[in-house]
Amino acid sequence: MTFTDFAFDDQLLDGLNSMGFKTPTPIQAQAIPIIQSAHDLIACAQTGTGKTASYLLPVMDGICRSEERPPISALILAPTRELALQIDQQIEGLAYFTGLTSIAIYGGGNGIDYEQQRRSLREGVDIVIATPGRLIAHLNSGGVLVDQIKYLVLDEADRMLDMGFQDDLLHIVRKLPQERQTLMFSATMPAKIRRFAEKLLKNPQQVNIATSQPAEGIKQQAYRAFDDQKNKLLLNILKEGDFNSIIIFASTKEKVKHLGTDLRKLGLKVKAFHSDLKQEERQEILLDFKNRNISVLVGTDVLSRGIDVDGIDLVVNFDVPGDPEDYIHRIGRTARAKNTGTAITLVNNKDFRKFQAIEEFMGRAVDIIPLPEFLGKSPSDPLPSDRKTGHNNNNRKKKKPFKKNGQRKHFSKKKPDAVG
């Protein structure tokens, strides 16, 4: 199958060809015909599967073929400004020959940005990509032309619900026409997502593509390490490995700032990405990283879903994420588009149970790499009597669910269902 099989508008096909896209991914092959048939859709697909184009292409094709275009034809809701900008950039590339217009609506900018957003919403633009909070601010100010929207897309719906946007989403939907096509994309499909979908979608078709599993090309490793060993261990990993483009995830923005400072002192080209930065600074950092002007990016989980850069060959979890889904999204920044990459997680005693939950969620165990000898004992070794740590649980009796006859237990990997 090729993109020509979808009989897209010629100008849209010209955009695809100019970007070198020939063959659709599995999510695109399944979702595009459903959307072209005017069905509502709920699709479950992880980051890196081509899900954005799977809804952009048929929506843009539908707009191109419309004899009369409303002021705003499509509204795409996204959880973060980074994802909104990423979607807008993809539209710009695909729409190059079509004349379609788009704008990203998000908070954090200056007064000029807000006025530009408000003017576009009032005068009309083909596709609006928005974060819920900023869109509601514009809706409350009046004059926003959303009463004729034909397409509503909720991208990363699970993330938006996790971030507490459910009431905002329902508020926005009440402003939209009843007769519309609604498309919901989510990396996971828990009960709350299904219940939420029932409120918004009409007799939806469903597509399920390889959900909640890391790409096969990711080499997953972990180190057991005390907190006071992590910095030296990280430096050793970066020195010993042949990595050119690296993302490091930490649990808090304070830790992100400290790590960025420490790594810069060592002469690395590194930038810290966190919410205290102005929007222009964040965009500049992402552009520098994409253009390989910096080799190391340190950030929190906002990066796990808001950055679209190919060629990242190492992801480091300086801290274990609290949710297995966040782990999947973090390490999914590498090994994109059928490439390979490495994901390394540093696990202290406090986070070990969280890491076990991640392994169980994936249905497999991650290889534990011994600490370099110069770092001394790891948390899994007997502790020297003079080491003081608040995270040592070695003296407490507890179950060892991953031990069997002295060996780590490997789960058999479950195959996710896919709707054909």
Instruction: Write down the pLDDT at residue 307.
Output: 67
Instruction: Write down the pLDDT at residue 408.
Output: 43
Distance CA 223, CA 346 (A): 5
Instruction: Write down the pLDDT at residue 159.
Output: 84
pTM for this entry? 0.63
Per residue of the chain (420 residues), what is the pLDDT tens digit?
899 999 999 999 998 988 888 899 899 999 999 999 999 999 988 766 788 999 999 999 999 999 889 999 999 999 988 899 999 999 999 999 999 999 999 987 777 888 889 888 888 899 999 999 999 999 998 878 888 999 999 999 988 988 889 999 999 999 999 999 999 998 777 788 889 999 999 999 999 875 567 777 899 999 999 999 999 999 999 988 889 999 999 988 899 999 999 999 888 899 998 878 877 788 788 889 988 999 999 998 776 665 667 789 999 999 999 888 788 888 988 876 667 899 999 999 999 999 999 998 888 899 999 999 999 998 876 545 443 433 333 333 333 444 433 344 444 444 333 323
Instruction: Write down the pLDDT at residue 194.
Output: 87
Question: What domains does the chain contain, in order, with CATH numbers?
Answer: 3-209 (3.40.50.300), 218-408 (3.40.50.300)
Distance CA 271, CA 269 (A): 7
Tokens 């740590």 appear where? 389
HSE-CB at 60 with a 13 A cutoff on CA atoms is: 30
Instruction: Write down the pLDDT at residue 110.
Output: 72
Instruction: Write down the pLDDT at residue 45.
Output: 80
Distance CA 226, CA 261 (A): 21
Instruction: Write down the pLDDT at residue 305.
Output: 61
Instruction: Write down the pLDDT at residue 155.
Output: 94
Distance CA 262, CA 120 (A): 43
Instruction: Write down the pLDDT at residue 328.
Output: 84
Concatenate the DSSP letters of all residues of 264-290 into one string. HHTT--EEEE-TTS-HHHHHHHHHHHH
Where in 156-313 does DSSP place strands (E)? 181-186, 205-209, 218-224, 246-249, 270-273, 296-299
Instruction: Write down the pLDDT at residue 75.
Output: 97
3-state secondary structure of 376: coil
